Chains A and B, each alone.
Chain A
Amino acid sequence: MLKQIEGSFAVAEAIALCRPEVICAYPITPQTHIVERLSELVRTGDVGNCQYINVESEFAALSVAIGASAAGARAYTATSSQGLLFMAEAVYNASGLGLPIVMTIGNRAIGAPINIWNDHSDSMALRDAGWIQLYAETNQDAVDLHIQAFRLAEQLSVPVMVCEDGFILTHACEQVDMPDSEQVDSYLPPFEPVQVLDPAEPITMGAMVGPEAFTEVRYLAHHKHLRAIEVIPELSTEFEHIFGRNTGGLIEPYRSEDAETVIVALGSVVGTIKDVVDEMRDEGVSLGAVKVVSFRPFPLLALREALQNAKRVIVVEKCLADGLGGIVVGSVRMSLRGTSTPVYTIIAGLGGRAITKKSLRRAFNEAVADRLEDPHFLDLDWKVIDHELARSQEKRRSGPIAENILRELGLVGGKPV
């Protein structure tokens, strides 16, 4: 049914249709609306037999989900930013134990300096924690990927993060085709755990493993992700049969087959990029895009195939590896290994800076002319950078950088120290 709905509420209603048995959460912007809505849906009985627990921290939230999942319950939590980092230990624990928890990440920057707006620093920090990571472009994607996430998680006994851009998606009201419970029930069978804590058949979870077997345990986790590369497109196809919508599986190419220049990106920015592709195509630039839906596992072969005709590749990403450049680009380069295709990185949208079509066009044109420096920081204010660097060279105690820049920009009073 078509609904005009806030992104967070759409996700909450999709989660409710998946009938989790335990939901635990701690408030953090911009994820909070999801769990607030879920608490209401639990109260009204719309989630079925579900217990909602308010916990004292994100660390507790995921730990509660781990306990619930170990006891055989379908468990769900959601977080953002610092909250995800705070639960990091439990994030690894859940995947190590093979517990099929689904967690929404309302993507948000990480401080210091404190910033509540969107980028991908949070989920990227935990990209190699053994969880599958799916990135949504739209709120429709977010709804559809969550339903697939439970199925994927439970089929492979591996936890799944569904990442959606904070504010841009979570707080945006747009049209979403909401599935009904019959559709979801036919796609997602009740959770049958592979292993469960049961007094009748006692097992030990989380046993200590020494050097004699640790590598094998870790390899098997790797193997699950390799399996996921096969399973994700299958589940996506099956999803399309029931719901009539295609989420793309691992990747979704957009006018890229014959394109000389192909842009690779993930998340909501892909929508903007598609518009730019259309506009620049109309002007005669041979441009295309590929959306990465599954960042972990990374679809090395599928992406290599999608990029095989490209003369150059541009990766647009909302995260930064200090001193290195992009994070996503590392995996893209790996998929292109052995080829001589030049790859450019555009770091954009950090801490919620708007990524405009105008700025993207400028950067894409530079790349098409092979003049773009790598990495390129979209819309970076070099004047501010130069002033701050000069200040810090002039005197050792040049003051906190964040406050200095706010002063320079006139956003707070006083002059830079």
Chain B
Amino acid sequence: MTKTAIKKNAGKASSKNAFDVMSYLRHDLFPHFLCPGCGHGIALRALMWAIHELEIDKDRIAIVSGIGCSGRLGAYIDANTFHTTHGRPLAFAAGLKLARPDLEVIVITGDGDCLAIGGNHLIHACRRNLDITCMMLNNEVYGMTGGQVSPTTSEDRYTTTTPLGNTEAAFDACRLAEAAGAGFVGREVTVQTPTLKNLLKDAIAYNGFSFIEVISDCTEIYGRKNDLGNSPEMILSQKSQMRPNSYGGVIVDEPFRPNALPTGVLSTNARPEYGETYRNAMASAKRKK
């Protein structure tokens, strides 16, 4: 399926068949290991929904994931999946995409995987602008290892390694991606699932590196430790703490909520896609010979 065809589908509201998330999952690996109340499943559903509406054949998709709760999601998807080492999914994905430019390469990663141990790969993936979609699930904590501080843990929050409350500042991953040159940058909360699905559709259809930060919730470990309520309270407060801008529009500052993070499409940067640039350069070098 060509990028143009995918783009055409991105504009459509829905596909001919009703979306059934179960047809995109590997039932043999159930029960899944996510905790009750975890937002990652909603994000996974949104991603599968986006793929469904874009009408991309499952066999043309390569999901690359890292280590952590986010990294485990790849295993549940009925497509080509590659569970890589901690922090490296973007690097593995770059190799995969260069070797097989015809595949839609989607990286599922988390805040620890993508911003801490794999932070270097993120900035260079943004700079290089290969046609990869990176969905980073931000739950502000290392969930799989039991709740240690991550680079996106909010200040003063408690984790198992910040018994005093976190004293370090949190990353704004989207601003980082934008500054590093990512072609398409967006953010959404899990409770806005249809909006998240639409954002992911645009990100996948975008010809270049797209970075989507999904604000997810870790109810069991992080929420409990910080008295943030159960999953419904957590995801609704996430929504109220966000500052939605009109989809694709300009962010309007709202002084009454100065610390809130904007959601939606945050930036686009029309740059040549690296794979194409590279292949063209090779072709012209061969012609000169």
Chain A contacts to B: CB under 8 angstroms: 25-29, 32-33, 35-36, 39-40, 42-43, 52, 54, 56-58, 82, 86, 111-112, 114, 412-414
Contacts and interface: CB of A to CB of B under 8 A. Distances in A.
Interface stretch (B14-22, B25-33, B275-283): B25-33
B146 A32 contact: yes
B163 A54 contact: no
B85 A82 contact: yes
A32 B163 contact: no
B162 A39 contact: yes
Given A43-B163, A412-B29, A56 B85 contact: no
Contacts of B7: none
Contacts of B27: 413
Given A56-B117, A114-B83, A413 B26 contact: yes
In order of increasing CB-CB distance, the 4 nearest A-B pairs are A413-B28, A56-B116, A27-B145, A57-B117
Nearest to A411: B28
B119 interface: yes
A32 B28 contact: no
A5 B168 CA distance: 32
B148 A32 contact: yes
A97 to B, nearest CB: 24
B163 A26 contact: no
Interface residues of B, number: 26
A28 B83 contact: no
Contacts of B241: none
A108 to B, nearest CB: 12
Contacts of B163: 39-40, 42-43
A43 B28 CA distance: 45
Nearest to A36: B160
B164 interface: yes
A36 B161 contact: yes
B146 A36 contact: yes
B58 interface: no
A138 to B, nearest CB: 24
A27 B29 contact: no
A54 B161 contact: yes
B85 A111 contact: yes
A185 to B, nearest CB: 25
21 contacts: A27-B142, A27-B146, A27-B161, A32-B146, A36-B146, A36-B148, A39-B160, A39-B163, A43-B164, A54-B148, A54-B149, A54-B162, A54-B168, A57-B87, A57-B116, A57-B117, A58-B117, A82-B85, A112-B85, A412-B28, A413-B29
A414 B83 contact: no
B151 interface: yes
B86 interface: yes
A273 B219 CA distance: 44
B161 A39 contact: yes
A27 B148 contact: yes
A324 B168 CA distance: 48
A180 B164 CA distance: 26
Contacts of A57: 87, 116-117
A114 to B, nearest CB: 6
B29 A32 contact: no
A86 B160 CA distance: 23
Most interface-central of A32, A33, A40, A112 (chain B CB within 10 A) = A32
Contacts of B144: 29
Contacts of B86: 82, 86
A33 B85 CA distance: 21
A114 B168 CA distance: 31
Nearest to B142: A27
Nearest to A42: B163
Contact of B161 (A28, A35, A413): A35
Contacts of A27: 142, 145-146, 148, 161
Given A26-B117, A27-B145, A56 B151 contact: yes
A374 B160 CA distance: 46
A381 B168 CA distance: 50
Given A39-B160, A43-B163, A111-B85, A29 B145 contact: yes
Nearest to A407: B28
Contacts of A32: 145-146, 148, 160
Nearest to A38: B161
B68 to A, nearest CB: 10
Contacts of B145: 27-29, 32
Interface string B174-208: 00000000000000000000000000000000000
B80 to A, nearest CB: 11
Interface string B236-251: 0000000000000000
A28 B29 CA distance: 24
A165 to B, nearest CB: 18
Contacts of B115: 56
A101 B151 CA distance: 26
A56 B119 contact: yes
Contacts of B29: 412-413
Given A29-B145, A114-B67, 8 more contacts: A27-B142, A27-B146, A27-B148, A36-B160, A42-B163, A57-B87, A82-B85, A112-B85
Interface in B34-52: none
B116 to A, nearest CB: 4
Interface string B96-123: 0000000000000000000111010000
Contacts of B149: 54
B30 to A, nearest CB: 9
Nearest to A413: B28
Interface in B126-174: 142, 144-146, 148-149, 151, 160-164, 168
Nearest to A414: B28
